[in-house]
Structure 1
């Protein structure tokens, strides 16, 4: 087996009920949920019970996904999974900073709460939307974006899928242009134009807040999704990377290719949903993919049957 990487998904992966199986099955995951609840009251309840309208508000979504991801991380640690690398999609990169040892859980939660609040405020200032464009090469989508005044390619997810952020007033015309190019446009249920200049307000708001956090030396390489390479060690550079990510594109396809070229061949999605698994199968079908809940259930089945745990770390 090659090197193992953990992948933490971002906003958009949330759903009511997320994390509940891990809470029920893993005492260590339950402890993480309880710990986060003590710091940010009601997080677990919102994850498990919703309602959806409340869960989907950015200032709620981000700490909730963070909680699920850190609980999932604790469950994997408990069964002996030892990653050699980490990547997180957008918000998931904050969970990655905790998993890599750069942030404590407490500081990671503080930052993700402030991040969610700042991004929601930025979204309310400019009516912007996000659209996933399918079936077109990235270059064609980039060309369509140039036809509009404020339209930005922001999430390079995988071959044939690029998400853009643009003004809401241009949505209908943009979708028409995509269809004319034989592509397919899918409006996303997100509250703003993330990872674009629409989020510069949020970056500026967080710039002063980030100095309230303690930065430690990471013990596991974390790959930046905005630069498609590992995070540097310098706290000054780490701060820069974190802030840059908020109003710049997510280079997920490039990040995965970098990790694969660096010898990673097993990827475990550590959070709600299986979106990142879908992306990586389109990037490179030769790699092995697991989802945390499936892996943990397999471990419990082996344990209950008195069999040896078959996942080789």
Structure 2
């Protein structure tokens, strides 16, 4: 079966993520150890116990990546045809792991540092992101452009669902304007970093150095958030990954570009993209979040 592999981004984290894998798989336990050693952090405590770090971006990102990586490792021996890996925001780095571009320890280090770079960019300002439902892309783009505020389209999730990013105060000012334009819902997210907008410019060059250090020369196809096109080499990764911080995520465009190449999508470590996909494509998306859903997906693929 031809599969598109999907990997969720920040915001999909929760306490208890990966515990069923840990309890039932030696491979998962070994991967927890690798991750813990990579950044000297107890991932069992981070992911299984109530704590503040799980929502701090420098820890959220490696936790989500580890969860997705374990789901993929437990699945990958199932016979399937790897067409491409596609991640949403942070998920692009999980996709790179699945495509063979990163070793696990290096992937954990890379996204840990990415999170710290993003935090540092907002040391002296408060950013956020805001979901807008019920407006077309062009209207939201026009509102942002004409606002004279520091706000930008950040995630093109599906028709009628777009996320904008910027300075928190500016986003709050934009809320009544978007509602006046006909938005069905406008919701400010509980976060202090504005991803995928020019406010992260200072993090791009340091991230490029990390990509150069950790990413392998060649790998299986990964779809870029920035271009909505596939790439397979380190040289291409050096072009798209640093600017991924400052450019919008073209998720729905990516799905539409390549949905005809696959029989089905599988989401590793979440169900967020499955929900979004229902609004974009008629192709089925199945999630792997624990041992039971892993078995269900394997049984579906093997018929």
TM-score under structure 2 normalisation? 0.92
What number of residue pairs does the alignment pair up?
300
In 1, the alpha carbon distance for the partners of 2:294 and 2:46 equals 28
Match of 2:302 in 1: 312
- Deviation by residue 1:120-150 (Cα, 9 ceiling, x = unmatched): 1112232221101001111111111112332
Contact map agreement 1:5 1:83 (CA 8 A) in 2? yes
Write the mapping of 1:1-313 to structure 2, written as runs, cut at 5 A: 1=1, 3-40=2-39, 41-51=41-51, 53-80=52-79, 83-146=82-145, 147-183=147-183, 184-218=185-219, 220-233=220-233, 235-261=234-260, 263-271=261-269, 273-284=270-281, 286-293=282-289, 296-297=291-292, 300=295, 309-312=299-302
What is the DSSP-based 3-state SS (H/G/I as helix, E as strand, rest coil) of the residue aligned with 1:85?
Answer: strand
CA distance in structure 2 between the aligned counterparts of 1:293 and 1:206, rounded to whole angstroms? 29
| SS of match in other structure, 2:301 | coil
Secondary structure (helix, strand or coil) at the match of 1:133 reads strand
Unaligned runs of 5+ in 2: none
Evaluate the alpha carbon distance shift between residue 50 and residue 79 of structure 1 in structure 2; reply closer, same or farther with a 3 A threshold: farther
Quote how far apart the aligned CAs of 1:84 are. 2.4
DSSP-derived class of the 1:287 partner: coil
Taking the aligned partners of 2:85 and 2:296, their CA distance within structure 1 comes to: 27
Return closer, same or farther for 1:312/1:83 CA change in 2, 3 Å cut-off. farther
Classify the secondary structure of the residue corresponding to 1:231.
Answer: strand
Q: Tell me by how many angstroms 1:26 deviates.
A: 2.7
TM-score, normalised via structure 1 length: 0.89
Question: Comparing 102-111 with 243-252, which one deviates more in the overlay?
Answer: 102-111
Q: Distance in 2 between matches of 1:298 and 1:10?
A: 19
Asked whether the equivalents of residues 195 and 248 of structure 1 are also in contact (C-alpha less than 8 Å), the reply is yes
CA RMSD of aligned residues (A): 2.1
Contact 2:3 2:84 in 1 (8 A): yes
